[in-house]
Amino acid sequence: MIDLSRPGTRWLLVAVIALCVALSWLGVLDSESSEYVDGSLLQAGLAFATARGLNALISVMQSTTLSFSLFAGVQVTLGELLDPFNDLIEQYSTVMKLAVGSLVIQKVLLDIVSDALFKILLSVSAGLLVVSILLRLAGWTNWLMKAFALLMFLRFALVLAVALNGLVDRVYIAEQTRAELAVLGSVSTEIELIDQPGVGAADTGLRAKMARLGDPQAYREMQQTLEELSMNVVTVMALFVLRTMVLPLLFLYLLSRAAKWIWRLEAVASDAPPSSFSTGIEPRHD
């Protein structure tokens, strides 16, 4: 309950409203959020491109007629070895597509709520609310305060959610994401080298293991390498789902809870208890 009969309360409300409008026009949070979304969109786009490249390269390798004998003459084809990993890469590609889509939606919505027209609507709502507060029109103040709170939520909820998400990302997630993506990038490069002739003694990584796949020990090493790469792919998927979908939705939910608390506030023009539902202008008591 907000008592408009107290001058200190009225001027405090006016100051808070003015601060909100100033923050809306300054756009400090807007620039921070937009920069974070742009950077994340670029990173997600590169990750998606890597996924598509890996999928294409592995599909080409699976189509080659390479087989080898293991463990008492058991025949194993290269396609059978790579098929589970290729399925995982396809799922990874789908997740990255969703991550890119989520970031594009966030960018579009940020552009909408930071547009000048939206700022003007918020300013007009704030002006009407200030007038009703200074005139102690409790009935009008209740309605205008709810309208202002709604516009404030639309204006800042996504901006704050993205900004908080960016803060958590920089502190806890960004470094691990870069490291995991670097591993996937190196794997993509190694796979590109596999089809090239001239495997020498100094060759390491996937290319050297592919050259020795007829050896049971080399086959087991290749299986272990693919299992480790699979864990890397799953980790990258989890990180992008967390930073592009889970955390933004979580912060939006928390901000909506705060907005509901503001929505329940009611203003009164005297020490008398307010009615549970006011639709008009309450009389002033001087």
Distances (CA, A) of 162 to 139, 159, 177, 239, 257: 35, 5, 18, 16, 17
Q: Which two tokens stand for residue 106?
A: 């966030």
Return all residues near 42 (Cβ < 8 A) that are at least 6 apart: none
Closest CA to 139 of 259, 270, 8: 270
The answer for residues whose C-beta is within 8 angstroms of residue 222's C-beta and 6 or more apart is 81, 206, 209, 210, 213
pLDDT along the chain (286 residues), means of 10: 70 90 90 92 90 79 57 58 84 92 94 92 94 85 88 91 93 91 78 52 50 57 78 92 93 86 64 42 46
Contacts of 154 (CB under 8 A, 6+ apart): 113, 118
The pLDDT value recorded for residue 271 is: 46
pTM (2 decimals)? 0.76
Helical segments of 135-245, H only: 138-168, 174-194, 205-211, 216-241
- 103-111 long-range CB contacts below 8 Å, 24 or more apart? 103/37, 103/40, 103/41, 103/44, 103/244, 104/41, 106/37, 106/158, 106/162, 106/248, 107/34, 107/37, 107/38, 107/41, 109/158, 110/30, 110/33, 110/34, 110/37, 110/158, 110/159, 110/162
